[in-house]
A and B are shown apart, each in its own frame.
Chain A
């Protein structure tokens, strides 16, 4: 399973000549055509393809927007309005890009929680998983800097608040902040470097995504049962089976995406960002984009500047330790009756944190944020390690096929050559 030396043999003379010099076709064949895929994957497993699509969509729309956007504090807002009003289909490109960021995060959160539920982070997929966390961090940085670029009120004040987080670092904090700004406050140099990095980071994401996929193809995909592929009967070739399913899922996701772009293009943004940046006036309450809200709530729950920043950072870094914090031998939550309840409780807490992040930091909201933050960390530090010892998991099926087909059928009529079926048709 771990190694699948390619069985690909080029047909044409040129193909043979090329393959002996750069085995690219063989790599593609073994990774995306012959690659064995568990036959019981649900639609939750299509979000990897959806994310790949979103990354490409963001890069393409972004490259075209950059042809008109001006990263200058005096002209940025106006250049965005120029795109919206005068550039042919400029409004479409910008709405695709702005809502695309949200869609990217919708997809990545589904992807992450699928991984949590089915224990995809556990051995032997730890490196694959940590690469995913790195992608998520890069996405956050990219999205944050992208939101600064239109240079509206929320851009400016969001940049001010987030960069000021670094001033919490003892001794060198203030120096770091002034280096981030390139000045004594958020200003033109800040905007300029954010644009540069916003353009760079997506390509770094693409690089880590390549590693992520590479790391995926070593152990193969996890599946809803959490047990590995044991025989050819448990799997189907990637093409056409997973390919067509992924394409279908991507198109359905595009429908969802299009609804926002064409009918609610500004819903996920902030009205304040249609007011040009004004360093003399702060918006009534500064709220980050929805996808940062849970972390923002954690930041504000701690009544200490440095503590808040550490808690927020820890909220993501702690993910990296999940493979070792989770002591259960069973991957899929489907066979963990007790953990299943805690998982959904954790989901509820994450939603609550998101909602609390959008509320002003006062009164009951603060207390609720603190309770949720405490639970958030307890989930990783207490629930995951302890449950592995106290929980009695349900019996696991013998194979993927047995789980989905039922035992009686496995013995009887399921074709032997399911996996060997050649991909004769598109």
Chain B
């Protein structure tokens, strides 16, 4: 058992000379697998530790997501349109976001439709921003697309909205017509449950 003996000798051996000796022993005894096995152990341990550490991060990151109560509270909301008079803008909230419901007058609708769409910064015809046959109801998110301030209704050059923060101007279709805002006020998902009731947060199912 010379092999076992030399290995035992190695056990009590820590100098550089010994590690040289070790590789020598490894070669001469055709134990090529020996260093490989050691490397494998280090790699496996390191890999397991890295995988474990990375997995440990997961629940912490995941805990930052909207929690179940918040998600449940974000269910669609119903809004009754009957109390909203012509020319009036009503503010409602869905998922904590401000939404304008604007009951447009005939002139306001006309002003919104009589626009050369191609000349707009964010070209969109008025018909694409309201539901078919419900042109009097404009429903848009109530935060300026520039940096999120709340624009003032019935103000500005086009009597749509005017943002007091940085001077963005929107028309009666909620489209950007001036100032720094890059795009039109976006339209939230909503559907008409009846002529006088909308459900915000729910798209019409065709």
Do A and B belong to a common assembly? yes
Q: Which A positions have Cβ atoms within 8 angstroms of B? A: 60, 64, 67-68, 82, 85-90, 92-93, 247, 413-418, 420-421, 425-426
A residues near B40, Cβ cutoff 8 Å: none
Q: Mark B34-65, 1 if CB is under 8 A from A, else 0.
A: 00000000100010010000000001101111
Does B16 sit within 8 A of A, measured CB to CB?
A: yes
- Using CB atoms, name the residue of chain A closest to B12: A413
A residues near B14, Cβ cutoff 8 Å: 415, 417-418, 421
Inter-chain CA distance A95–B50, complex, in Å, is: 24
Query: How many contacts A-B (CB < 8 Å)?
Result: 53
Q: From the candidates B12, B63, B70, name the one contacting A93 in the complex (CB within 8 A).
A: B63
Q: From the candidates A82, A88, A418, A425, name the one contacting B42 in the complex (CB within 8 A).
A: A425
Main secondary structure of the interface of A (DSSP, over half): loop
Can you report 29 A-B residue pairs in the complex whose CB atoms are below 8 A from each other? A60-B60, A64-B63, A68-B67, A82-B69, A85-B69, A86-B67, A86-B70, A87-B63, A87-B67, A88-B62, A88-B65, A88-B67, A89-B60, A89-B62, A89-B63, A90-B67, A93-B63, A247-B49, A415-B12, A415-B13, A415-B14, A415-B15, A416-B15, A417-B15, A418-B14, A421-B16, A425-B42, A426-B42, A426-B46
A residues near B68, Cβ cutoff 8 Å: 85-88
A93→B59 contact, CB < 8 A: yes
Q: Which B positions have Cβ atoms within 8 angstroms of A? A: 12-16, 18, 42, 46, 49, 59-60, 62-65, 67-70
Minimum C-beta distance from A415 to chain B (A): 4
Minimum C-beta distance from B18 to chain A (A): 7
Main secondary structure of the interface of B (DSSP, over half): helix
Inter-chain CA distance A420–B60, complex, in Å, is: 42
Minimum C-beta distance from B41 to chain A (A): 11
B residues near A88, Cβ cutoff 8 Å: 59, 62-63, 65, 67-68
Inter-chain CA distance A415–B12, complex, in Å, is: 7
B residues near A64, Cβ cutoff 8 Å: 60, 63
Minimum C-beta distance from B21 to chain A (A): 11
Inter-chain CA distance A85–B68, complex, in Å, is: 8
Inter-chain CA distance A418–B12, complex, in Å, is: 10
Minimum C-beta distance from B110 to chain A (A): 49
Minimum C-beta distance from B25 to chain A (A): 16
A residues near B59, Cβ cutoff 8 Å: 88-89, 92-93
B67→A414 contact, CB < 8 A: no
